[in-house]
């Protein structure tokens, strides 16, 4: 327990501080010293006893949304116990506190709102952002996860309801990588919303106005970024779930100026790269030889394409070769030179091929060995699509990464059945094992929680000047290499999730090595990086 802080509090005030509150775990001596006698029942429990009660409560909840609400309330009351529960079984609890449950929670966020978590800074606060940030009681913030709610998962513009995403992302920092929770700040930049349903909702908690122009938004973000540098000089800004064009533009503007990253672009790109490396370990092929078609050409698709391209470049491919081997397909079809509706970022991957809006035709003309779905449109990888991929490659790589579940481009069972068991498959959500032709297949989940907590742990430990693509690529390689030969034989392209905290520490050590090797930090490299990082990790125990 933090002695300096607790000595300032006593009695009921201790129960109001989630970092100090131990509930029934205050022992007899503490109850007397801090004037808690009579304020608690007679029993003195261990944190393990309390965790059993939490699990009992969770077991009688009718659905995961109710479990989400209960766990969020627990964090507001007793943060140590909250993380004790989550860290005991991340594979079980991540789908409750984050995707897919967080999607439903964000849709209903204004209706299930209980009490504040994090900060809300509105565009009406322009000119005073620094003063508002100074209101946060913790002065050494190391990460701010910030969203405008402009594009939440595959659900679109949810405005202030999107606050569930920064909250959930930072919960995973601790649950999946054991980053101490105190220096983590979820923040919503409330710029209004263009979602008319929310604007008419009497319970909506955000600004009731439409979103600003790009110029006004960028001015607001510039003030926010500058204020963070002044108020929290050691802070890394984690951009999350911004509208695609905003996400790409702002990352390009700030990535080499301040310590920041965008998980939708860089994290998604890196976890997809890790899955691809794992898939190629199964097929025995080389990354540099792959032809990759993206179904979806927004910020996620471009982010993954750029990350894979950067990895190909490190593998020795020239830029023109990389561009020839990566193609994108959006709502209007294959990105080809004849089109006039492409952004500058999309034009990089435009091809001198016939114009087509038919995905099967695009596959037949481009001949990809890998297809990656980031469209947010479910059931678009039809039987004809998978069969077309199977004709081109004997082991087609099929990644259906859109989420939540009903947005997946195809299910695992469909991919295996339509490819006659030859597809190497991963999704953005977790599908059950599939039995086909007497063989059991284990579909992978290309979930960003495999990497963004690990990379953030490395950032927390090393305090780099910037977050580079090489750091993400090294993280992807390290993760892919943690898949055992036995797991590869089952079709797994990601390691099991049940030991995610240990995986994160191992990946973070590789990322930290890049930071030291590239002189991105002022710290001196320790003799044992992994041990050094492990010593910084949070332990959910009472003091």
Predicted confidence pLDDT, tens digits, the chain (543 residues): 454 566 678 889 999 999 999 999 999 999 999 999 999 999 999 999 999 999 999 999 999 999 999 999 999 999 999 999 999 999 899 999 988 899 899 999 999 998 778 999 999 999 999 999 999 999 999 999 999 999 988 789 999 999 999 999 999 999 999 999 999 999 999 999 999 999 999 999 999 999 999 999 999 999 999 999 999 999 999 999 998 889 999 999 999 999 999 999 999 999 999 999 999 999 999 999 999 999 999 888 999 999 999 999 988 999 999 999 999 999 999 999 999 999 999 999 999 999 999 999 999 999 999 999 999 899 999 999 999 999 999 999 999 999 778 889 999 999 999 999 999 999 998 899 999 999 999 999 999 999 999 999 999 999 999 999 999 999 999 999 999 999 999 999 999 988 999 999 999 999 999 999 999 999 999 999 999 999 999 999 998
Q: For 264-543, CATH number?
A: 3.40.50.720
- The H or E element that residue 324 is part of is helix 319-324
Cα-to-chain-centroid distance, residue 93: 15
Which residues, 6 or more positions from 348, have their beta carbon under 8 angstroms from its beta carbon? 323
Q: Do 188 and 120 meet the contact criterion of CB atoms below 8 Å apart?
A: yes
CATH 1.20.1370.30 region(s) of the chain? 3-70
Instruction: Give the closest residue to 187 by CA, choosing from 165, 216, 220, 211.
Output: 165
Alpha-carbon dihedral 59, 60, 65, 67, rounded to 10 degrees: -50
What is the predicted pLDDT for the residue at 152?
A: 86
Phi-psi region of 159 (alpha: psi -120 to 50; beta: other; left: phi over 0): left
How many Cα atoms within 13 Å fall on the side-chain side of residue 183? 23
Q: Do 34 and 6 meet the contact criterion of CB atoms below 8 Å apart?
A: yes
Tell me the C-alpha distance between 421 and 439, whole Å.
9
CATH 3.40.50.720 region(s) of the chain? 264-543
CATH 3.40.50.10380 region(s) of the chain? 95-258
* Helix, strand or coil, per DSSP, at residue 535: coil
Residue 435's CB is within 10 A of a number of other CB atoms, namely 11
Domain 95-258 has CATH 3.40.50.10380: yes
Tell me the C-alpha distance between 366 and 364, whole Å.
6
What is the predicted pLDDT for the residue at 3?
A: 47
Alpha-carbon dihedral 529, 533, 535, 537, rounded to 10 degrees: -170
What is the predicted pLDDT for the residue at 459?
A: 98
- Assigned CATH topology for domain 3-70: Hemocyanin, N-terminal domain (1.20.1370)
Phi and psi, residue 273, nearest 5°? -60, -40
- The H or E element that residue 197 is part of is helix 196-199
Angle between helices 268-283 and 469-480 (to 10 degrees): 40
Phi and psi, residue 328, nearest 5°? -125, 145
Instruction: Give the closest residue to 407 by CA, choosing from 424, 387, 427.
Output: 427
Name the residues annotated as catalytic: 98, 169
Q: Do 445 and 90 meet the contact criterion of CB atoms below 8 Å apart?
A: no
Tell me the C-alpha distance between 78 and 75, whole Å.
5
Cα three-residue angle 500-502-508, rounded to 5 degrees: 95
Instruction: Give the closest residue to 239 by CA, choosing from 291, 275, 288, 186.
Output: 186
């Amino acid at each position: 327990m933090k002695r300096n802080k607790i000595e300032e509090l006593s009695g009921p005030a201790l129960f109001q501080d989630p970092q100090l509150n131990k509930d029934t775990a205050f022992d007899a001596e503490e109850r007397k010293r801090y004037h808690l006698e009579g304020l608690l029942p007679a029993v003195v429990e261990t944190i393990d006893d309390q965790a059993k009660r939490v699990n009992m409560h969770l077991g009688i909840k009718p659905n995961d949304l109710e479990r989400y609400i209960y766990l969020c309330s627990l964090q507001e009351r007793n943060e140590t116990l909250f993380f004790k529960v989550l860290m005991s079984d991340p594979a079980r609890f991540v789908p409750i506190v984050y995707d897919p449950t967080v999607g439903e929670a964000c849709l209903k966020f204004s209706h299930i709102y209980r009490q504040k978590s994090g900060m809300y800074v509105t565009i009406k606060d322009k000119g005073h952002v620094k003063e508002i940030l100074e209101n946060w009681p913790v002065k050494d913030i190391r990460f701010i996860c910030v969203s405008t709610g402009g594009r939440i998962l595959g659900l679109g513009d949810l405005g202030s309801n999107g606050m569930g995403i920064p909250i959930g992302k930072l919960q995973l920092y601790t649950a999946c990588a054991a980053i101490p929770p105190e220096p983590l700040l979820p923040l919503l930049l409330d710029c209004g919303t263009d979602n008319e349903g929310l604007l008419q909702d009497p319970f909506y908690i955000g600004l009731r106005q439409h979103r600003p122009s790009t110029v006004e938004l960028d001015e607001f973000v510039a003030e926010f970024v500058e204020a963070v540098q002044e108020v929290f000089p050691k802070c890394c800004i984690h951009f999350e779930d911004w509208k695609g064009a905003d996400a790409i533009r702002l990352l390009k503007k700030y990535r080499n100026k301040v310590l920041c990253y965008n998980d939708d672009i860089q994290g998604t790109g890196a976890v997809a790269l890790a899955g691809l490396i794992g898939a190629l370990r199964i097929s025995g092929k080389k990354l540099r030889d792959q032809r990759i078609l993206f179904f979806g050409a927004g910020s996620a698709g471009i982010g993954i394409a750029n990350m894979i391209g950067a990895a190909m470049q490190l593998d020795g491919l020239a830029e023109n070769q990389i561009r020839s081997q990566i193609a994108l397909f959006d709502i209007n079809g294959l990105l080809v030179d004849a089109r006039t509706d492409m952004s500058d970022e999309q034009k990089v991957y435009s091809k001198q091929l016939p114009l087509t809006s038919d995905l099967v035709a695009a596959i037949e003309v481009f001949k990809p060995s890998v297809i990656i779905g980031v469209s947010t449109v479910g059931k678009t990888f039809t039987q004809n699509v998978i069969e077309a991929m199977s004709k081109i490659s004997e082991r087609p790589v099929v990644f259906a990464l859109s989420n939540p579940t009903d947005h997946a481009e195809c299910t695992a069972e469909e991919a295996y059945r339509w490819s006659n068991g030859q597809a190497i498959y991963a999704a953005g959500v977790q599908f059950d094992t599939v039995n086909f032709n007497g063989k059991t297949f284990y579909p992978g989940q290309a979930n960003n929680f495999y990497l963004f907590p690990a990379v953030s742990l490395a950032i927390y430990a090393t305090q780099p000047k910037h977050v580079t693509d090489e750091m993400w690529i090294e993280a992807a390689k390290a993760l892919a290499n943690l898949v055992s030969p036995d797991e590869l034989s089952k079709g797994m392209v990601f390691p099991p999730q049940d030991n995610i905290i240990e995986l994160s520490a191992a990946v973070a050590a590789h990322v930290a090595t890049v930071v030291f090797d590239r002189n991105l930090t002022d710290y001196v490299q320790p003799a044992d990086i992994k041990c050094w990082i492990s010593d910084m990790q949070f332990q959910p125990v009472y003091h």
